Amino acid sequence: MAKNLNITEIKVKSILNKHKKRDPWFLDDYSINPYKGCEFNCIYCYTKGTHYGGTLNQPLSVKINAPQLLKKELSNRAKKGEYGFIAVSSATEPWMPLEKSYQITRKCLEVIRDLKFPIHCLTKSPLILRDLDILLEIDRKAILPEDLKEKDLSGVRITVSFCSLNQKIAKIFDPSVPSVEERLKLVETLVEKGLDVGIAFMPILPFISDKEEELEEMVKVAKELKVKRVYFSPPTLFGKGKVIFFSVLKKHFPELVEKYEKLYVRGIPAKSYTQDFYQKVKRICNGYKVNLIV
């Protein structure tokens, strides 16, 4: 367990969130978050500006009753045949160091396996490999939602994320996350195990990790690792999250502060930037025949 963390054990009233609409990128209809707050504490994390992140007094909470609750809530959905992908997780890292001792994510996966739901795992952590046994079982047993049965989808989809392939940049913006090298190795291992893996280059940092050569390197790496798909997106910055991001920007890239202020008048970057960005990314992915999800 990481030292000097202010950790609270909490009991929550519900754990399974049903989305109003299926996520078009990751295909999840549901999400669960076994923890509140995140030990990785990435500078660009969107949860910092929302109620999903931890608070000053309670930066990190363990939802100790999550597996029991999930069993109850998911059984109800299974009885009605309401199968759908579950995002594990949408607002925290499910395999953060704390999970080594608490094993809340692992216990939730056991419930999901027993009730045969498919999952999408979004992670930056090689600790996911500890749970390969259950992931492979879920992959074999999961029942897909009716309208996705025709598509050739796996019961377990995993996405590993990066903000840059440059370790110096990653160290500034996600300092507590396993290194770029460790995450690339993780992707390689998951692919070797026969799992369905994608890479999320999210968030790509404007004027920092969005240079044509770096984007091309990312696509090339994804191709070499034989992932099924890639995602690209700039960060969303608002509220407290924006303040934290700008303080780091000021320290490490003071010359970019003004450019970011103009770019982020709202929580998302100006349209002119995103249009150019996606044109560039699409062109590169087409060139390498890499499946880009947009």
Q: Which residues bind ligand SF4 (CB under 6 A)?
A: 38, 40-42, 45, 47, 92-93, 124, 174
With vertex at residue 243, the alpha carbon angle to CA 237 and CA 246, rounded to the nearest 5 degrees, is 80
d(CA 251, CA 187): 32
CB of 265 to ligand SF4, least distance (A): 23
Q: Tell me how far, at minimum, the Cβ of 31 lies from ligand SF4, in Å.
A: 12
Fill in the DSSP letter of residue 292. Answer: B
- Rounded to the nearest whole angstrom, what is the least distance from the CB of residue 255 to ligand SF4 in the complex? 25
Q: Which is nearer to ligand SF4, 6 or 279 (CB)?
A: 6
CA distance 286 to 156: 26
Considering the complex, what minimum distance in angstroms separates the CB of residue 62 from ligand SF4?
15
* Pick 41 or 159: Cβ nearer ligand SF4: 41
- In the bound state with ligand SF4, the residue whose beta carbon lies nearer, of 92 and 159, is 92
Rounded to the nearest whole angstrom, what is the least distance from the CB of residue 79 to ligand SF4 in the complex? 32
Query: Is residue 220 helix, strand or coil?
Result: helix
> Residue 33 or 154: which CB sits closer to ligand SF4?
33
Residue number, 53 or 84, with CB nearest to ligand SF4: 53
139, 132 in Cβ contact below 8 A? no
User: What tokens were used for 265?
Assistant: 């008048």
Smallest separation (angstroms) from ligand SF4 to the CB of 44: 7
Q: Among residues 47 and 236, whose Cβ is nearest to ligand SF4?
A: 47
* Helix, strand or coil, per DSSP, at residue 124: coil
β partners of residue 24: none
How many CA atoms, within 13 angstroms, populate the side-chain half-sphere of residue 267?
12
Q: Which residue has the tokens 């608002």?
A: 238
Q: Could you tell me which residues come within 8 angstroms of residue 60 by beta carbon, excluding any fewer than 6 positions away?
A: 5, 6, 7, 8, 35, 36, 37, 38, 39, 54, 98
